[in-house]
Structure 1
Amino acid sequence: MTGDRTAHSPVAALRELEGRRATGVLRVRDEGALHIVEGSVAYAECRSAPSLEHLLAAAPAPGALGEAGMEAVARLALHDAAYFLLGSEDGAEFTEGPPHRLAHLCRIAPDELVAERARRAARLDEALPSAARDHAPVVPVRRVGRQRVVLTAVEAEILLNADGRRAPADLARDLGRSAFDCLLAVRRLAAAGMLRPPQDAPVPDLPVRRRGETEAPEWEPVGHEVLLRLRSGLEGLA
């Protein structure tokens, strides 16, 4: 096998490999790897996203998924990993070799991966145009400055399982959820004022409040009672 180290971005490298109809592994430094089969991407692994095996293990009945179901989960895992890998600014190293053992599940053209990544990035920015929480531990607040908050199932799972130590990628892996879905949930929760800002986030300049003006609520760590109510609500949706 031959190695080909290049200063190209992962996207540029993928397009070059597509033109060559190459088969092998494109490694993106310490982030992960994209497995190529005749120029298409067939499998991906990334430290910031759950593997296909993680997602399959979390499926209600993985043995009953069938061919179409397996392909759907494989595509989800691939797009999840590609979101992070294609955004890397590191160079990539390609090594020719045989296809990955799970390469038969799906094949995705590089341009499709690039377009899907752009769509996901736009959705994240629409929810909250800041990546400050993407890699920071998720810490819920105790008091919510709203009378009623409607949560999706993923958002509720994030709040129930956030322990102040795990980042969105860690929670996605432990819950068997899509990394993108967890990132989107975290940004939406942050936009709704339900998460504390990361410790190393810059402190914003707050306007001077005069006597009689409404003050912002004080956020505190989430309490056990709040988590119990959230769990009860989730069980009611089951």
Structure 2
Amino acid sequence: MLTRLAEERATGALLRDHGTLYLSEGRIVHAESPSAPGVDVLLTAGGRLPRTGWQEAVDKAGARREVARFLVDSGRVGGGELEICHLGAMFDAAFFALAPGSGPTRFRYGVAHWFGAVRPVSAAAVERETLRRRELLDSVWPYASADTAPVVAREPAPGQLVPRRQRDVLALADGTRTPAAIAWALGRPAFHILLDIRRLAAAGLVDTPKEPLAPPESTGAVPSWVATLSDDPDIALLRRLRDALEATL
């Protein structure tokens, strides 16, 4: 549907269960998802823009759908800075909105978002980036359930180094927060948090659920001892043991 709407140069909102894409003449100008922090969170969480400054922009320019223009014209945010922040938030939300199994797709013609357009992006570019991100996540840690389950931190092995941005994630991995909750708390794009968590899982630094592997095709019964030996090992634990052994050598 997104490809067809782009070819039709349609204007409106493409609604799915996990997010909404806003199109103007077939190009995507905004996206939002409950799984991804919006532009407001990315700007205000780190103190770049006071929350009162954001609210003032919404109050004064939201009805005209010119919040973005107001932020730049009033000098609260630089034009280039807002463009980068908005593109990051848009690609982030689109990743979740276009996820497989995101429910039925509906399109409401003529609907525009109150934030206003900053830099339109082609639907093809958004689709390519969404697929690239999905493939990147799977190449790091092939268990998608890690993206939605509460994250539990594990102690690093002796001598195991953890980058600062990942330490920030681990500090909030208390067994109750999901990746989305951590993204909102840190004011970072949700995809970046997913990538950090999958990297941490691969390094044995967080506990995450793992989907059961599909049983291999067989023409006969498999002895119980063979099934026991072929169980998928705890890869994260093995990596931690390896790191500990290397640290003692």
Q: Deviations over 1:135-184 (max 9, x none)?
A: 00000124x3x332222232111111122111101110111011011000
Is the Cα–Cα contact under 8 Å of residues 141 and 194 in structure 1 kept in the other structure? yes
Partner residue, 1:70: 82
Partner residue, 2:36: 49
Partner residue, 1:151: 162
| Larger relative helix fraction | 2
Is the Cα–Cα contact under 8 Å of residues 11 and 24 in structure 2 kept in the other structure? yes
Q: Specify the code of the residue in structure 2 equivalent to 1:170.
A: A
Q: Deviations over 1:107-158 (max 9, x none)?
A: 111110011112212221221122121100000124x3x3322222321111
Q: Which stretch of structure 1 is more off in the superposition, 82-91 or 189-198? A: 82-91
Q: Specify the code of the residue in structure 1 equivalent to 2:150.
A: P
Where structure 2 has 5 or more consecutive residues not aligned to the other structure, the ranges are 50-74, 214-229, 242-249
| Cα RMSD (Å) | 2.4
Change (3 A) 1:98 1:47: closer
Residues in 1 aligned to 2:20 and 2:14: alpha-carbon distance in whole angstroms: 6
Q: Which one has a bigger Cα radius of gyration?
A: 2
Residues in 2 aligned to 1:16 and 1:206: alpha-carbon distance in whole angstroms: 43
Residues in 2 aligned to 1:69 and 1:84: alpha-carbon distance in whole angstroms: 23
Using structure 1 for the length normalisation, give the TM-score: 0.74
| Residue from 72, 84, 89 that aligns with 2:96 | 84
Residues in 2 aligned to 1:206 and 1:100: alpha-carbon distance in whole angstroms: 47
Q: Specify the code of the residue in structure 1 equivalent to 2:180.
A: A
Partner residue, 2:198: 187
Change (3 A) 1:193 1:80: same
Partner residue, 1:26: 14
SS in structure 1 at match of 2:85: helix
Q: Deviations over 1:35-78 (max 9, x none)?
A: 11111111111111111111111244236540111010000001
Using structure 2 for the length normalisation, give the TM-score: 0.71
Residues in 2 aligned to 1:201 and 1:105: alpha-carbon distance in whole angstroms: 40
Residues in 2 aligned to 1:68 and 1:130: alpha-carbon distance in whole angstroms: 36
Partner residue, 1:115: 128
Q: Specify the code of the residue in structure 2 equivalent to 1:35.
A: Y
Residues in 1 aligned to 2:183 and 2:195: alpha-carbon distance in whole angstroms: 11
SS in structure 2 at match of 1:41: strand
Q: Specify the code of the residue in structure 1 equivalent to 2:175.
A: G
Residues in 1 aligned to 2:186 and 2:158: alpha-carbon distance in whole angstroms: 29
Residues in 2 aligned to 1:205 and 1:25: alpha-carbon distance in whole angstroms: 46
Residues in 2 aligned to 1:147 and 1:141: alpha-carbon distance in whole angstroms: 12
Partner residue, 1:205: 231
- Shift of residue 194, structure 1, vs aligned partner: 0.8
Residues in 1 aligned to 2:106 and 2:176: alpha-carbon distance in whole angstroms: 33
The answer to whether residue 116 in structure 2 is matched with residue 103 in structure 1 is yes
Residues in 2 aligned to 1:43 and 1:126: alpha-carbon distance in whole angstroms: 28
SS in structure 2 at match of 1:183: helix
Where structure 1 has 5 or more consecutive residues not aligned to the other structure, the ranges are 1-12, 208-213, 218-238
